[in-house]
Amino acid sequence: MALTQRLEAIYQDVIKRNPGEAEFHQAVKEVLDSLGPVFVKYPDYAEAKIIERICEPERQLIFRVPWQDDRGEVQINRGFRVQFNSALGPYKGGLRFHPSVYLGIIKFLGFEQIFKNSLTGLPIGGAKGGSDFDPKGKSDGEVMRFCQSFMTELWRIIGEYTDVPAGDIGVGGREIGFMFGQYKRLTNKFESGVITGKGLVYGGSQVRTEATGYGCVYFVEEMLRHRKNGLKGKKVVVSGSGNVAIYTTEKVHQLGGKVIALSDSNGVIHDERGLNLDRIKILKEVERRRIKDYCEYHRSARFIPNGNIWDIPCDVAFPSATENEVTGKDARKLVKNGCIAIGEGANMPTTPEGVKVFIDAGIAYGPGKAANAGGVATSGLEMQQNASREAWGFAETDAKLHAIMRNVHQICSEAAEEFGSPGNLVNGANIAGFLKVARAMSAQGVV
Ligand code: NDP
């Protein structure tokens, strides 16, 4: 069978075996579209059906999560953990709590995680999990009871050497703390390395909170440096206003750029003079309020209800909210307005049509798999510290993160060049991520 036909057949089989999981299909297609030249060079991988095996998760768990709300009413959510690939190390990937969560979202995220984790150079496999639980508007007590119930099922299949969850949308330090506490209680073990994103006082790592945002900015800075440019003086928009968006903003400001817009699912805040990050942090991290409340404190800012953040002209954009938030139309608008670089803090935030627009325009485009790898990389550093009972300082950990992001950029660039699409970091990330996993899988036999 000709190569393109073979890859198309694999894709059709994935659709057939995983009906109704559009996001998972999209993530698989993007990787398959990059792998043609790899199979020409390494026909053995096709022979050994490596890609077919990578597309099938090693294990998937779906479970009931019952809990009681503050009125004593019983609520039922659904929990997921997809252990996708353990060729490089224990399964590793975050937990997402959001009403949109279903198996297709968890599988797309878990699939992406395999390649992302491979790119970090650390010994970690790929996984993802979560629930359709919505933490928004819930009391601390409700969130705690939910997290405890979630862990009461999850603990059976995780462990320091087995599977190490972390945070994602809707799961931050508070939720990780509640889940770690319940795991400890159920197992009677203080097993620090079982989960990452922990608080600093009980085994967390410096820089983990900042890592995804900082790492994404380091990646963009690296892309720009190769184009003899930098973030200094650049006008920047960042979608979302959660963990990734906040620390992207912080690093952009430190490097001399100016973030002029942020968003949430209700709308956009915009201030050409630049946003005040201290206020954002108080609103979002301490008071858990909405982004529109920012305008109560800063008269020069305006709130655009249900606005589209990509309409705002900028030099650099960081999609940092959710999947498929940048459409083809948005991408064309960004390019037309003079945007020169995109750093994807979120996972798969750009539709396939949008990705094509960025690639065709030749702007610096850092796909999520590579650009947001700093979060999981620093989780890997947290695991290292837990294993050696050490706690590194902020500057030391940040320097390691910075070095990892430079290296991710370099290996993606080199793979893109070697396999015939110089400058195309989508192909570069997919190929470099894939090759390491494929080598490990080949060495480990048919498992
Ligand atoms: P948070 O929960 O901290 O923040 C998410 C932000 O995105 C919020 O402002 C939220 O707005 C907005 N958002 C979420 N879903 C939607 C939606 N469907 N439509 C519009 N806005 C939405 O999550 P993170 O910052 O941790 O994650 C953001 C992205 O980064 C995700 O794609 C995640 O997978 C990715 N990522 C995160 C990593 C991490 O370390 N945390 C690591 C690598 C990637 P609202 O409050 O209105 O819902």
Q: What angle do CA 61, 67, 68 make, to 5 degrees?
A: 170
Residue 193 Cβ contacting ligand 1 at under 6 Å: no
Q: Which of 347, 370, 354, 378 is nearest to 416 (CA)?
A: 370
The active-site residue out of 92, 107, 116, 128 is 128
Domains of the chain, with CATH numbers? 3-54 (no CATH), 59-189 (3.40.50.10860), 211-371 (3.40.50.720)
* Local confidence pLDDT in tens for the 447 residues of the chain: 677 888 999 999 999 999 999 999 999 999 999 999 999 999 999 889 999 999 999 999 999 999 999 999 999 999 999 999 999 999 999 999 999 999 999 999 999 999 999 999 999 999 999 999 999 999 999 999 999 999 999 999 999 999 999 999 999 999 999 999 999 999 999 999 999 999 999 999 999 999 999 999 999 999 999 999 999 999 999 999 999 999 999 999 999 999 999 999 999 999 999 999 999 999 999 999 999 999 999 999 999 999 999 999 999 999 999 999 999 999 999 999 999 999 999 999 999 999 999 999 999 999 999 999 999 999 999 999 999 999 999 999 999 999 999 999 999 999 999 999 999 999 999 999 999 999 999 999 998
The structure tokens 């003899």 sit at 228
Task: Tell me how far CA of residue 410 lies from CA of 98, 134, 211, 248, 370, in angstroms.
Answer: 34, 38, 19, 21, 10
Which residue's alpha carbon is at the smallest distance from atom 29 of ligand 1?
346
Q: How far is the CA of 12 from the centre of ligand 1 (A)?
A: 30
Joined tokens for residue 225: 């440096």
Which residue among 244, 289, 306 is best mutated to probe the pocket of ligand 1, counting the most ligand atoms within 8 A of its Cβ? Answer: 244
Side chain identity at residue 434, one-letter code? F
Please tell me the distance from the alpha carbon of residue 261 to that of residue 443, in angstroms, as a whole number: 48
The structure tokens 């184009």 sit at 227
Please tell me the distance from the alpha carbon of residue 192 to that of residue 325, in angstroms, as a whole number: 35
Task: Tell me how far CA of residue 88 lies from CA of 165, 317, 327, in angstroms.
Answer: 16, 32, 34
Which residue's alpha carbon is at the smallest distance from atom 2 of ligand 1?
169
Q: How far is the CA of 80 from the centre of ligand 1 (A)?
A: 18
Please tell me the distance from the alpha carbon of residue 185 to that of residue 178, in angstroms, as a whole number: 11
Strand-pair category, 341-343 with 364-366: parallel
Task: Tell me how far CA of residue 388 lies from CA of 200, 358, 381, 384, 392, in angstroms.
Answer: 16, 43, 11, 6, 11
Running DSSP on this structure, what letter comes out for residue 348? S
Which residue among 116, 168, 280, 320 is best mutated to probe the pocket of ligand 1, counting the most ligand atoms within 8 A of its Cβ? Answer: 168
Predicted pLDDT at 2: 75
Query: 235 has which bridge partners?
Result: 258
Q: Which of 9, 81, 39, 11 is nearest to 434 (CA)?
A: 39
Query: Does the annotation mark 128 as catalytic?
Result: yes
Under 8 Å between Cβ of 314 and 236: yes
Predicted pLDDT at 4: 83
Minimum-distance ligand 1 atom for the alpha carbon of 349: 32
Q: How far is the CA of 189 from the centre of ligand 1 (A)?
A: 31
Under 8 Å between Cβ of 347 and 325: no
Which residue's alpha carbon is at the smallest distance from atom 4 of ligand 1?
242
Q: Is 360 left (phi over 0), alpha (psi -120 to 50) or beta?
A: alpha
